[in-house]
A and B are shown apart, each in its own frame.
Chain A
Amino acid sequence: MNPSDSDASRFRSASTDRRGERDLDDLLVHVARGDQVAFEAVYDRMVGPVYGVIRRVLRDPSQSEEVTQEVLLEVWRAAARFDPAMGGAATWVMTIAHRRAIDRIRSTTAAAERERKSADVGPPHDQVAEAVEASLDRERVRRCLGSLTEIQRESITLAYYGGHSYRQVAELLNVTLGAIKTRIRDGLIRMRDCLGVSS
């Protein structure tokens, strides 16, 4: 069935919260029924954070573009498997995206390539700073990251933006595995409260 133009205007005019989260849930329902116009709206909403995170984890632009395309295609294919009970649509998409990026770096060839490229990239602090420029989202996340202890902040950013396993994070920060687990969890709890995420 062909999506009609009136669908497009409906999606554009739909009210959204600041990140468009609620609206995105509705869009995914339409995508699950094969609505390509709805998918375009999902693409426009999600491609920035998807590419941003994958790029941050993988670093290599061409690999990042490849994985970004895979992720977006997976969103199209698996839209029917999105379950609002398990969290918002943006979170569903980002979970797929981050996992795909992680899968890519845990494969050995990619890891070697990444090691090579990581030589050009500054220490974790710079990555965080880079991540948090202007824009409301960035400002909010920066403020909340700033409320963490240094080791909480570094553990979380090394794991999420850096794509390191917690064992690697423990080694990088020279703390025990047990400490890293706790710091990441405590830090995320603090972030959750600071960002006002309902749980």
Chain B
Amino acid sequence: MRLFRQDPHALSGVYALDALDSGRELNRFNRHLNRCQSCAGEVRGFREVATAMAFAASMDPPPEMRAQVMAAVARTRQLPPEIRTHARPRRTRAWAPWVPWLSGAVAAVAIVVAVLFGFAQAHTQSELNQARAQNQALALDKARIAAELDQARAHDQALAAILGAPHVTLLSQRTTKGGVAVVVLDAAKRQLIVATSGLPALPSGQVYQLWLIGPVRIVSAGLLPAAKSGVTSPVVATGIVKGDKLGLTVEPAPGTAQPTTTPILALPLPV
């Protein structure tokens, strides 16, 4: 990769055509883009060339697709408008310092994961009971998370789609303030569900806010709902890009456009 290091600029065309080989290369080029205004402009131009090529390859899909998509649209909730920041170098530095030490921290609470997994895969109640017996206190949280997921699954198609996806990854991590976040990641669809348990209660006027912390920018993934008996109901986050971490910060209500405090969680998302 010596060539790449010497001249990342030359990869702008490859990048614009989505033809980089690995996530590592992609991350590296994204970092470069962040610092290189002319590259960003060049990539934009190349993407427009690609768009012209797409129009040239235009093809009619089966006509029934229109009704199917419209039906899906009618029952699909849209992402809230979010203020996105196209990260400038200054902003990169602002969050860079805490990224390294957080990325290594993987305090997976295996048993919660096992139960969530069991739940996602519609395992039997007996397994839940067995797990519960192993740790009474933890089991209480697990059961609550499971119950919340159950409830949400009945009501939320997006959630059901992720839990029913063929290849989900289960991740969990303790926050630096205690408590645990559990994530069901559908890498193929670049979306996840996150639920938490045991986070300290916040004084009024403060909220827990989720973030997708990427190599290029940080995007809000919404607020954690208020906890019921210490457990927050699942939140769906979508639009994950390679290199994103799931972050959690304490922010002034009703949330902020960009994080203003040090994350208490930064969970790498393998997509």
Known A86-B86, A188-B49: A49·B55 in contact at CB below 8 Å? yes
Among residues of B, the one whose C-beta sits closest to the C-beta of A160 is B17
A195 to B51, CA, bound (A): 11
Query: Which residues in chain A, 136-179, are within 8 Å of chain B measured between CB atoms?
Result: 137-138, 140-142, 156, 159-161, 164-167, 169, 177-178
- Is B226 at the interface (CB under 8 A from chain A)? no
Is A197 part of the binding interface, using a Cβ–Cβ cutoff of 8 Å? yes
B12 at the interface (CB under 8 A from A): yes
Instruction: Tell me the smallest distance from the CB of A104 to a CB of chain B, in Å.
Output: 8
Minimum CB–CB distance from B195 to chain A (whole Å) comes to 21
Pick from A73, A102, A103, A137: contact of B73, CB below 8 A.
A73
- Bound state CA distance, A187 and B49, in angstroms? 10
CB proximity of B8 to chain A, nearest CB, Å: 10
A181 and B9 CA atoms in complex are apart in Å by 10
Of A137, A166, A195, which is within 8 A of B14 by CB?
A166
- Please give, as numbers and ranges, the residues of chain B lying within 8 Å of A56 by CB-CB distance: 57, 59
A187 near B13 (CB under 8 angstroms)? yes
Minimum Cβ distance to chain B for residue A77 (Å): 5
Question: How many Å from the CB of A189 to the closest CB on chain B?
Answer: 8
Asked if residues B48 and A131 are in contact (CB atoms below 8 Å), the reply is: no
Q: Is A15 an interface residue (CB 8 A)?
A: no
A107 touching B188, Cβ below 8 Å: yes
Residues B19 and A86 in contact, CB atoms below 8 Å apart: no
C-beta contact mask, B66-77 vs A, less than 8 Å → 1, else 0? 101110111011
> A197 is contacted by which of B14, B48, B73 (Cβ under 8 Å)?
B48
B28-82: which have CB < 8 Å to A? 41-42, 44-62, 65-66, 68-70, 72-74, 76-82
A76-B76, A87-B48, A192-B49 known; A181+B59 contact, CB < 8 A: no
Q: In the complex the two chains form, is B14's CB within 8 Å of A159's CB?
A: yes
Q: Does A1 contact B (CB under 8 A)?
A: no
Residue numbers in A under 8 Å from B16 (CB-CB): 188
- In the bound complex, do residue A81 and residue B84 qualify as a contact, i.e. CB atoms below 8 Å apart? yes
A119 at interface, CB cutoff 8 A: no
A80 touches B78 (CB 8 A): yes
**What residue in chain A is nearest B40 (Cβ atoms)?**
A86
Contact A102 B18 (CB under 8 A): yes
A188 contacts B18, C-beta separation under 8 Å: no
Interface 0/1 of B82-98, CB less than 8 Å to A: 10101000000000000
- Contact at A195–B52, with CB atoms within 8 Å? yes
Beta-carbon contact of B78 and A34 below 8 Å: yes
Closest B residue to A152 by CB, please name it: B13
Query: Are B80 and A160 within 8 A (Cβ)?
Result: no
Contact A73 B10 (CB under 8 A): no
Q: In chain B between 99 and 127, which residues have their CB closer than 8 angstroms to a CB of chain A?
A: none
Contact A185 B13 (CB under 8 A): yes
Q: Does A99 contact B (CB under 8 A)?
A: yes
**CB <8 Å contact, B14 and A181:** yes
B137 within 8 A of A: no
Q: B258: CB under 8 A from chain A?
A: no
B interface residues, Cβ below 8 angstroms from A: 3, 10-14, 16-21, 41-42, 44-62, 65-66, 68-70, 72-74, 76-82, 84, 86, 188-190, 219, 238-239
Given contacts A69-B68, A76-B73, A185-B10, 6 further A-B contacts (CB under 8 A): A49-B54, A52-B54, A103-B188, A156-B13, A166-B14, A166-B21
Q: Which 6 A-B residue pairs are closest in the complex by CB-CB distance?
A: A199-B45, A185-B13, A52-B59, A48-B58, A141-B56, A184-B13
